[in-house]
Structure 1
Amino acid sequence: MAKVKTRYVCQNCGYVSPRYLGRCPNCSEWNTLVEEVEQKSAAVKAAPRVTLTGMTNAPQKIDTIEISQTPRVDTKNGELNRVLGGGVVPGSMVLIGGDPGIGKSTLLLQVSGSLADQGGKLLYVSGEESAN
């Protein structure tokens, strides 16, 4: 269903107003604003999204999707590997959050040490926010 929108256009200078004005604020002429009815279509179809590989994101059946395994680096921590889907993806960034004192820094320092022992390069950045 189309949406009807009313606007008022000055016949002297073309100024457009969403409501009637006796005097045009642009050219200062009186009684030159004339009502025009504008119909807008209800739905505008969006352009298809395209991925970085140039493929469109059209819906696909689950049984037709090909799954390729991304190589992952073992953290030597079984539970963290499980949570990360099998290990850390090279070049990725992982954000760890939680309450103070639950062992985030301890866990990440242990994992960083084991990754460094495997010859990997890593950057460990730590930050803290306060309520004040």
Structure 2
Amino acid sequence: MAKKPKTVWVCQECGSESPKWIGRCSVCGAFGTMVEEKIPDTSESDTRRRISSSGGGGRPSRLNRVGSADRERIGTGIGELDLVLGGGLVRGSLTLISGEPGIGKSTLILQTAANIAARGENVLYVSGEESEEQIKMRADRICRE
């Protein structure tokens, strides 16, 4: 007999979760915002589980008891950005840059990508807002300077 997939109800306003449907979010008070989401079936060894397999039952962990490995960092070629990032971008990770429109996020990231590519590293530039043409025009302007 197949297991019934586990689900959780998530508020689309604040992200709070409930094990069952409720008409009004108990955290933010919004009505009709709870949406059912399936919880992926994970193995016992998967560390991404919602509830700790160590018996913690979702309890908080003391940070001084959590192990952390030093990760290789890639310098961006922009000193202040490296400082904010704790020494550069962490290899194999994703870094989200956000902010108000027009403050220079795309320019900063394109400069970083150009600096890293100039050292022979592979760079993948992903944008959810700009067209290829917009990115190319900015790259031509930045890399020419």
Query: Normalised by the size of structure 2, how large is the TM-score?
Result: 0.44
Quick check: which one's helix share is greater? 2
Q: Structure 1-normalised TM-score?
A: 0.48
Q: State the structure with more CA Rg.
A: 1
